[in-house]
Amino acid sequence: MRLGKVLTGSVLSLMLLASASPAFAATSSNSTQVKTENISIQGRIVIEKLTNDFPKAFVKYGVFYIFDYSYYSNGKWYGVYKSV
């Protein structure tokens, strides 16, 4: 009697495992494509001077900055640089 219960339990377990196998499939029929984009972060530095003679480019902490524009305010010139 005990052997019959063990055998019946084993058969039922095997049937449940076999019926659940499609749920563990590696691929699905509704696969989606993922787009990746390159993101670039540009830093800005503003330098204050009394004259409008700013260098075209410089390196600070290993980051290369190029001159973008300058403006005059409150008796001082400000040079704006952006990182490359």
Q: Is residue 84 part of a domain?
A: yes
Give the N- to C-terminal CA distance of the chain in Å, as an integer. Answer: 80
Q: What pTM, to 2 d.p., does this model score? A: 0.52
Residue 59 sits in a domain of what CATH number? Answer: 2.20.20
Q: Is residue 8 part of a domain?
A: no
Residue 81, domain extent: 41-84
Structural domain count, the chain:
1
Q: What is the DSSP string of 28-59?
A: -SS-------------EEEEEESSS---SEEE
pLDDT in tens, 32-63: 777 878 777 889 999 999 999 999 999 999 99
